[in-house]
Amino acid sequence: MATFEALYGRRCRSPIGWFEVAQSRQKSYADVRRKDHEFDVHDSIYLKISPMKGGMRFGKKGKLSPRYVDPYQIFRLVGKIAYELKFPNELASVHPVFHVFMLNKCVGDPTSIVPLVGLGVKENLSYEQVPIEILDRQVKKLRNKEVASVKVLWRDKLVEGATWEAEADIMPRYPQLFPSTPTLA
């Protein structure tokens, strides 16, 4: 009989094998949620960006920065779980081979992608939004005043992406969007 068993009347449960038990339990939980990703050559996929503390990516900082960027095409399969991507010339310095968990399949209608032609991206990866037209107008009544808002369709957005803006902010910056009011003589 072991000393512990003689003193306490039960067997000792040593923590020596607990690491393997905990690891197998965590693996069983993770395997339930895990799904195997398989892509074909020429599929469009999004590339996951690693978060860097305090770093600025694509004009946004911290939590607002995108997790995935541009749809890229798969060039070829490298091994069982890695893919080589086809990058544009601007990203020639980036190594093109990525693990399957860094990729996310691009599903959707390719016609709904807004073209970047004429967008004019600046050095800090920002751009100027240009309104196309006013879709709607509404007046909200507050206690002592009325606030006019207009629904603006932007050049780089679809109709679903139109936003409500204060008419007082939009009219001085973009007077061409508003029809000229007749003057009383």
Q: What is the pTM of this model?
A: 0.43
Q: What is the mean pLDDT of residues 103-131?
A: 67
Cβ contact 153:132 at 8 Å: yes
Structure tokens at 42: 């020429």
Amino acid 185: pLDDT: 45
What DSSP designation does 49 have? P
- What CATH architecture does domain 117-185 belong to? Beta Barrel (2.40)
Whole-number Å distance between alpha carbons of 60 and 53: 12
Amino acid 150: pLDDT: 92
Whole-number Å distance between alpha carbons of 153 and 97: 39
Q: 13-55: per-residue pLDDT in tens?
A: 777 767 788 888 898 888 887 777 778 888 888 888 765 554 4
Asked if pLDDT for residue 78 goes beyond 80, the answer is: yes
Residue ranges covered by each domain of the chain: 44-109, 117-185
Asked if pLDDT for residue 114 goes beyond 70, the answer is: no
Amino acid 17: pLDDT: 66
